[in-house]
Amino acid sequence: MRKLESMEQFEELRENGKHIFLFSADWCPDCRFIEPFLPEVEAKFAEYEWVYVDRDQFIDLCIQQDVFGIPSFIAFHNGSELGRFVSKDRKTQEEIEQFILGLK
């Protein structure tokens, strides 16, 4: 998973290709909970490029995208939002996979 480095990079990635943005933070226990199985989920859904967004580094982006809880996921394809799994709740591998399977 690549790490977001700038707002310009976010705009470029959002507009080009299929991406899932994971909004997270190092201090978040529910974010740490998903780490062990996340590589398996990434591999299962390799048609998406996965991008880690550090909530503390990109707080303005979180506000812009209405991400007020982490971990959260937003998927885009060529500039169109495909779906979002945004909440402050802990997420299971099954819940994350069901979200991705439901993307259009």
| Residue 24, both tokens | 């997270």
pLDDT at 89: 84
The residue range of the domain holding 9 is: 2-101
Measured distance CA(3)–CA(21) in Å, rounded: 9
Strand partners, 49: 19
What is the number of structural domains in the chain?
1
Domain with 69 in it: what CATH number? 3.40.30.10
Can you spell out the DSSP letters for 34-52?
HTTTHHHHHHHTTTSEEEE
Measured distance CA(22)–CA(53) in Å, rounded: 6
Tell me the average pLDDT across 6-24: 97
Edge-to-edge order in the sheet of strand 2-3: 2-3, 49-54, 18-24, 72-77, 80-85
Q: What is the pLDDT of residues 43-93, one digit of tens each?
A: 999 999 999 999 999 999 999 999 999 999 999 999 999 999 998 889 999
